[in-house]
Structure formats: structure tokens, C-alpha cells
Amino acid sequence: MESAWFEPAEQRSARRHAATVLHSRASLALACEHAAHRAAAALLALRKPEGYWCGDLRADTTLESDYILLQLWLHPPVDGLWQPPTLPRLLKAQRSILDRQLPDGGFNIYPKGPSEISATVKAYVALKLTGLSPDSEPLERARRVILSLGGLQAANSYVKINLSLFGLYPRKHVPTVPPELVLLPGNVLYEMSSWTRAIVVPLSIVQARGGIRPVPAGFNIDEILAPDAAFRLPRRGRAAVLFHHLDKVFKLWENRGSEDIRRAAIRDAEKWMLDRTRYSEGLGAIYPSMMYLIMALDSLGYPSDHPDLNEALRQFENLLTETPTDFYFQPCFSPVWDTAIAMFALGEMGAVLPELEPALTRAADWLIAREVRHRGDWSVKRPDVEPSGWAFEFANEHYPDIDDTAMVLLALEHARASNPSAQANCERRALNWLLEMQSADGGWAAFDVDNNWAILNKVPFADHNAMLDPTCADITGRVLEALCRRGLDPAHSAVRRGVAYLLQTQERNGSWYGRWGVNFIYGTFLALRGLRAAAPAEAADSIRRAARWVASVQNPDGGWGESCAGYNRNRFVPAPSTPSQTAWALLALLAANSSYHDALARGIHFLSSTQKPDGTWDEDLATGTGFPRVFYLTYTLYRNYFPLLALTSARRALEIRPS
């Protein structure tokens, strides 16, 4: 009989390997727990006094450049001399722009990105207006970049439209946006994305009634016109020919059309705008539409003391951060979004911090008070649905956001509001609204249903790359997770259609395109969480392929990073690791229940080793997407609440439970 202590070599090796793996899992779980506790404490400290979260939302120099042009509109030169009352602010804006000039002289649209023509043209004009000589070193360098990229003629339509309002670009060579759009039958206006709607309606009034505003004596920008480039409207495919002919008709109508019809269109457009400033922080609650609203009201002759014009100016200037050292505009505010994700990340920890429950209750009360209860643009296609949902901003009742609504439902799962009955009714309405906002293809978009008239992408002013609001994998994944965690059966038709949509939109390499975050890592993380929540058997192979792809793009330092350049190249483009994208990749692997233990371990090590002593992380790159290839966002809280969620989720997955 063998001694009790005897153990064959094979068994001993297997036992030691198992012990090493268990120890590794235990160590990783402990590392996650320690880092998560520090992150949670830091996140709780970032709450506003009212109990919500709202980080700065940063963008590129185009916002400060547009601000300078808006001041020229509002305060025109007198006798050729431009000395606006806002001159001290303009000089701060000038410095803010110059501080972000690239070594080659241009300006980019995302951190570490290359010079971009439209941003550089806007910056050049703004800097020259605020007193820099074209012979100055900054403008000489910027001019060289502009000419190397095709000159002013290569800028996008909105740059040219804005310049044409001051006679700085030929009016006949920019797209016409007629106010008669609001009179077209069949609700054609509502086939455009919500943000495009909110931009083109006031812009149509500006073009129709604003005239050509003066510039300082002798001011022009002829030096940035490429000598060999033609003036022409943008062309995108054969369908563009039709819209080019229509543009000619619109221009003819401007000069010879019925003034009675035009007046009626402008009245309707004016009413449309003003109606959508009620219960809102300005038209659309986003920078471009708020800027054009100011210009439109001024074009219509609103006096400087008119309450609507003053309110429009006040809301717009609220977007400005001005300190002795900083001057920048935010494109909008993100309190509902930041609050919901922060709550969800904290709530997923469980009751581990004594201050957590009261903090979540206060945040839940804040969110419930901001439920949308008025019918917005979405109701044109869903007229019989009870209003609900949440906007992205503090107040934007006409535009509740499907993505935000799903995120709020996930957050409220972990919080008990002061009024349980009000919370239950609110959640019931929001859940029903989400179900009703599913598009015919099974997916969910941001603000509307079935907003997919692809031909509208061919109109001459569609080169902002956001004419439509189509369904996308990232929002669909989040909505599926919210619906299933709220108790919807996986066999429910909405869930089955959402799953089918995700399986159909998966890329060949196993990833998913991310519309609202950069890019394939973001889309893949949310698609996988949606599929995990729905747990469809037919998704098993898709989930395995997605996990394999995520592991394959991990950086050598253990983190993950992806460049905004991927939108231009239609493929994943690696970048230095960021905390937010590393968190998304870890959440994707965890959602896939993958066997990529080494990838998970290295990702956890990256987050724990780069966490600062105060529990936060640094992040230099933009990981949010406004309009792909055109406008990107840096959410300054992404770097903190997404790693917390990833670490908490990893700790739970790695926990060793008694057998």
C-alpha cells in the first residue's frame, strides 16, 4: 500500500498548476478590489453639490474659432474698424486657439491627430480677425498647411457657408438651405437627424434674411485659396447630380420665387425654432444649433433687449469656461450621461461603502426629476407613445436620447429613490418608450426611429457626415442589456430582433463598429454585453470570434487603445493605451466569458498600475465620437467610471467561491 504522502508526478504538477492559477485569480481579484475602492472614493468625491456628476466635455479649436466669427456677426465693424465690446474675450479665444497649433502649423480635430483642413481654415480666419498678420509666423505656417491640403476650397460645406455670410466665399458656390424645408409634405424634415434638423432650420433663416455682413476694411482670405482648385459644391456619387440641380433651383427661387411662400416658410421656421427652445437649454442644447439660433433671431430683426434673443445668448455663453488660465467652449453638457454611468459603475460594486447608498438615492432623485414628459420630434413617427426617457443634457425635452434612457434604467437598477412609487412609474414609462423606439431593422438609434433615408447623405450640405441617425450596434447592445436586466424575456420579440440585428452587423473580423465611441472596441464591448444579457444560443460563435478579436488587438503594455483615424480608414487603427478603452476591452472579454485569462490579467495590471494615488486616471486621447471623421469628444469622466466598472466586473468574475 502506497504511503499517504505519495503523489504521482503528473498529479503533483497538475495540483501545483491549479494552485498557481487559483492564486493568480485571487491576486487579481484582490488587485481589482483595491483599485476599485480607490476609484469609487474618487468618483464619489467628483459629485456636484446637487448629487449628480458632470465632467467637462472637450472638443477641438473649431468651437473657439466659430465664437470669434459669431462676434463679428453680432458686433460688425464701424467705419471699417472692428472693435467689439467682447475684444478681451476674443484675445483669450485667440490664445486658446494658438496654444493648440500643431508643429506643422495646422490644427487637428482629435488629440495627437494630423492637421485637418476645415479646422485649420476656421482657426486661420479667426486668428486673422483677432489681429494676427498674415505674415506672422503662426499664420504663415497655417497657410502652408491649408494650401497643401487643397486650400479653402477643400474645406467642408459648413465652413464655406459660414464664410459666405461675410462675403469671404462666393455665395453661389455654397449649398443653399431653403426655409421652405419646413413646408415640405411628408415630414421630410424629420427624415434628417435631430441635430441636423436643429442646425438647418435656423441656418435657412440666416441664409434667407441675414444678408452679407461686413468685415473689417480690407479684410479678405484670398491667400488661402488654392490657385488651381475649382469652386464647386461637394459631389458624392450619382445621386448628387440631382441635388446639384435642386440647389440651382433653390438659388433661382431665392431671387424669383414667391415672397408670400417665403414669408410663410420663415414664419413656420421661426415658430419651429422657438418651440424647441422651451423646456431646453437652447435649441437642441448643442453648440452649433444654439449659435445659428442667435444668428437667426438677429437676422429676423429681434432687438438686442428681446427676451428670446437674450435667453439664446445666455444659454450659449453658459457653454463657455473662462478662467484666468482657461478659455474653451463645451459642445454641450453631459450630466445625465455622466450621472447614469457613474451610478451604474458604483452600484455594480454592491453595498461596500457606507456612503454609497445615500449617494445613489440622491442621484436617483435627481434623474427622476429630469424624466422627459413632453412630446418631442420623436413623436412625429411615434404619435401614440407616452413620452418618457432622458436627454443627454440638463434640459432638452424635445430630444430624449435612447442611449441615455437605457443607461439610466441600468443605473436605477442599483438605486432606491426617495419616492419608490415615482421611481416605479418612471421606470415603467421609460421601458415602454425604449421598446417603442426600436427601428424596423431591429436596432436602436440615438433619437429617432427609421431615420435611414440614405439618399439624404448626397445633399450638398451633408458633408458633416451626420445627416442621418441610423441604428447602431453600440446603442442596440446597451438597450438589450437594459431590457433584459429589467426582466424582459429573451424570447420577447424586441429582444430577438435586437439580437438578430447585432448578429447581422458584426464585422468579418468579429468586431462591431462603434458609432458613439472610438470605435470598434466601443462597439464590440456594448454588443457583447447586449448578447450576454439576452443569452441567445445562436450567438455563441459570434461571441467567440469577438473575444478573439479583442484579445488580438491588445497593446504590449497590457492596455488597449484605438485611434479616431480608424473612422477614415474603415478599420481598427491602434493607439497608445487609454484607461477608458482598456476598460471597454476588459468588459468585452468578461461579457464573452472568454478563456483569455492572460489578456484579462494584463489588462487589470495596466489599470491598477496606471491608477494615480488619488484613485483617478489620466487620459490624453479622445475616445468619444460626435460625428465620425468630423468631430470627436473627450469625456473627462470616461477615464474614471469605466475603469471602475471594469475592475468591479473583473473582481466578481475572478472571485473564488466555495465548492
Q: Which segments of 283-413 does DSSP mark as H helices, in order? A: 287-299, 307-317, 335-347, 356-368, 402-412
Q: Residue-wise over 333-359: b if at least 16 C-beta within 10 A, else e?
A: bbbbbbbbbbbbbbbbbeeeeeebeeb
What is the rounded distance in angstroms from the CA atom of residue 408 to the CA atom of residue 392? 10
Q: Is 562 helix (H, G, I), strand (E, B) or coil?
A: strand
What is the rounded distance in angstroms from the CA atom of residue 12 to the CA atom of residue 381? 67
Q: What is the dihedral of CA 433, 434, 439, 445, to 10 degrees?
A: 120
- Name the grid cell of 4: 499517504
Local structure of residue 517 (DSSP, 8 states): B
> CB–CB of 100/93 below 8 Å?
no
- Gyration radius (Cα) of the chain, Å: 27
What is the rounded distance in angstroms from the CA atom of residue 300 to the CA atom of residue 306? 12
What is the rounded distance in angstroms from the CA atom of residue 598 to the CA atom of residue 583? 15
Reply yes or no on whether 298 is catalytic: no
* Distant-in-sequence, close-in-space partners of 571: CB < 8 Å, separation ≥ 6: none
Count of all residues that appear for the chain in the document: 659
What is the rounded distance in angstroms from the CA atom of residue 69 to the CA atom of residue 295? 11
What is the rounded distance in angstroms from the CA atom of residue 239 to the CA atom of residue 217? 42
What is the rounded distance in angstroms from the CA atom of residue 648 to the CA atom of residue 380? 41
Which residue among 338, 403, 463, 469 is the active-site one? 403
> Which helix (DSSP H) or strand (DSSP E) does residue 283 occupy?
none
* Distant-in-sequence, close-in-space partners of 245: CB < 8 Å, separation ≥ 6: none
Q: Residue-wise over 30-54: b if at least 16 C-beta within 10 A, else e?
A: ebbbebbbbbbebbbebbeeebbbb
Burial of 244 (0-12, 13-18, 19+ CB in 10 A): middle
Residue 580 C-alpha from the chain's centroid: 15
What is the rounded distance in angstroms from the CA atom of residue 288 to the CA atom of residue 157? 14
Residue 302, Cβ neighbours under 10 Å: how many?
Answer: 17
Sole residue written with cell 442621484: 363
- Name the grid cell of 49: 453639490
> CB–CB of 336/367 below 8 Å?
yes
Among 15, 152, 127, 108, CA closest to 65: 127
> Which helix (DSSP H) or strand (DSSP E) does residue 390 occupy?
none
| Catalytically active residues, by annotation | 403
